[in-house]
Chains A and B, each alone.
Chain A
Amino acid sequence: GESVGLHLPTLSVQEGDNSIINCAYSNSASDYFIWYKQESGKGPQFIIDIRSNMDKRQGQRVTVLLNKTVKHLSLQIAATQPGDSAVYFCAENGSGNTGKLIFGQGTTLQVKP
């Protein structure tokens, strides 16, 4: 069935280092992917998205890479800061134009000062 999974449940990095959070998706028909950040007690917050006709997209301190061959998505955060500590979710839109988003289970990013 459709699923989106993350390789590691927790990632611990030193402040100032770069972080890489990975995501594997299973539905090759998905053509839209989003990364969300969720801080404790809050709703998910949009970070960056990418469409399947791209393999890389950059935002402010964040980069998303899409490898459709192996159905892999990654989020890179440059110069990680304490404020980046949160749970990160990837999501895909699955097959069909229904508007549904399928979420992975999340990776907790811990930034050590």
Chain B
Amino acid sequence: NAGVTQTPKFQVLKTGQSMTLQCAQDMNHEYMSWYRQDPGMGLRLIHYSVGAGITDQGEVPNGYNVSRSTTEDFPLRLLSAAPSQTSVYFCASSEYRGRTEAFFGQGTRLTVV
């Protein structure tokens, strides 16, 4: 049982480059979300999805796009990377919105130079 899988684990980008962080879950969870974690801080919600075809913005959505074409996958896109997006990114999924535990991936450590 893989749970929530994130790729890549590490990435270095130059300012202005684009990339996609991948997230996949095999638990048939309807709710998925992306967080960023900066040093000494908690997790801040970027975008979330309550089901295939439905996405919404979280606390810090600027500079990020998401889509949810399938239940399993929830990629996060950086269209033009900026140094302020240097962070550790976590994807999470849960069975039911707001009522059950969220399972987290192992994270993607992104550095923008």
Contacts and interface: CB of A to CB of B under 8 A. Distances in A.
B97 interface: yes
Nearest to B104: A43
A93 B56 CA distance: 16
Contacts, number: 66
Given A98-B97, A99-B97, A100-B33, A106 B42 contact: yes
Interface string B2-41: 0010000000000000000000000000010101000011
B33 A32 contact: no
B1 to A, nearest CB: 15
B102 A105 contact: no
B74 interface: no
Q: Is the interface of A mostly helix, strand, loop or mixed?
A: loop
B43 interface: yes
Contact of A43 (B33, B41, B90): B90
B48 A99 contact: yes
A103 interface: yes
B53 interface: no
B58 A99 contact: no
14 contacts: A34-B102, A43-B4, A46-B102, A98-B56, A99-B33, A99-B48, A99-B94, A99-B98, A100-B33, A100-B58, A100-B98, A103-B35, A103-B43, A105-B40
Interface of A: 4, 32, 34, 36, 41-46, 49, 89, 93-94, 97-106
